[in-house]
Amino acid sequence: MSANELLSALTKVRRMGNDRWLACCPAHKDRKPSLSIRETPDGRVLLHCWTGCSVEAILESVGLTFDALFPEKELGHHVPRERIPFSHREAMAALVPEAFTVALIGRQMANGTPNDDETQRALITAVSRISSAHSYCEGI
């Protein structure tokens, strides 16, 4: 499977560079893109949800299995293990909507508007995503 096949099953897909995209994660109610997708030169597809959804949950929600992320190789073919991290730029791009969410809710709170349950969940999700991206960039 190529990344394009996966991308066709996702919403709000945005190209972030060569072979890199950001989209809404199908494994949770994602109104703002939090799923980073990358296709490596050898055809592997890498996924990372900044909210913390597992790759299994993401694949299950679009009806795929892990096999779909890896191109078929000849028997005995060996690819050395490599880590291709998401760039700081990608992490920051994923955080822009979260920063706006925190700013807007913070403004409401400063004006004395109490948070309802949905607003509180949105705030917790935004802070969690920001924390996750920070940890990722710090290599934690």
Which residue ranges make up each domain of the chain?
A: 3-69, 88-138
Please give the CATH topology (third level) of the domain spanning 3-69: DNA Primase; Chain A (3.90.580)
Question: Which amino acid appears at position 75 of this protein?
Answer: L
SS3 38: strand
Q: pLDDT tens-digit profile of 3-13?
A: 778 888 898 99
How many CB atoms are located within 10 Å of the residue 35 CB? 26
pTM to 2 decimal places: 0.55
**DSSP codes joined into one string, 42-67:** TS-EEEEETT---HHHHHHHTT--GG
Per-residue pLDDT tens for 51-107? 889 999 998 998 888 877 877 665 565 656 666 667 777 878 878 888 999 999 999
Residue 5 phi/psi, 5° resolution? -65, -40
Beta carbons within 8 Å of 125's beta carbon, 6+ residues apart: 51, 98, 101
The two tokens of residue 11 are 């919403």
Beta sheet of 35-39, edge-to-edge order: 14-17, 20-23, 35-39, 45-49
